[in-house]
Amino acid sequence: MKLETLNFFDKVYEVAKLVPYGRVTSYGAIAKYLGAARSARMVGYAMNGSGGKDVPAHRVVNRKGLLTGKHHFEGTNLMQQLLENEGIEVIDNQIQNLKLVYWDPSVEL
């Protein structure tokens, strides 16, 4: 594929796919890793197109570990279910022990 095909959105998908099982990261962390630290919002915006792709969007939350994007999933608790299925404790859209499951691409990679 051409480099030009790797748009901001596509890069977001690539990084999202790199998130390990049972871990989560933030929009800002991904943005920073892509060199667009100020474009955290675009990361989330990009995830709109993650549907139909192999992107584990449920592993991407905001910096507080809050499932702000759960409304973009089918059910009302699908995102939380997926996370809990990976061993991540989630209570009321809030990830517990965030530090333990947090994964920062700009650090881990």
Per DSSP, the three-state class of 74 is coil
Q: Are strands 60-61 and 25-26 parallel, antiparallel or unpaired?
A: parallel
Per CB under 7 A, the segment of 7-15, 81-89, 99-107 that binds DNA is 7-15
Per-residue CA distances from 91 to 48, 66, 97 (Å):
24, 10, 11
Binding of residue 93 to DNA (CB under 7 A): no
Per CB under 7 A, the segment of 40-48, 83-91, 101-109 that binds DNA is 40-48
Size of the site for DNA (CB under 7 A): 32
Instruction: Name the token pair of 86.
Output: 């990976």
Candidates 12, 24, 69, 80: give the one binding DNA (CB under 7 A): 69
Binding of residue 9 to DNA (CB under 7 A): yes
Candidates 3, 38, 74, 92: give the one binding DNA (CB under 7 A): 38
Per CB under 7 A, the segment of 60-68, 85-93, 97-105 that binds DNA is 60-68
CB of 11 within 8 A of CB of 3? no
State how far Cα 41 lies from the chain centre. Answer: 12
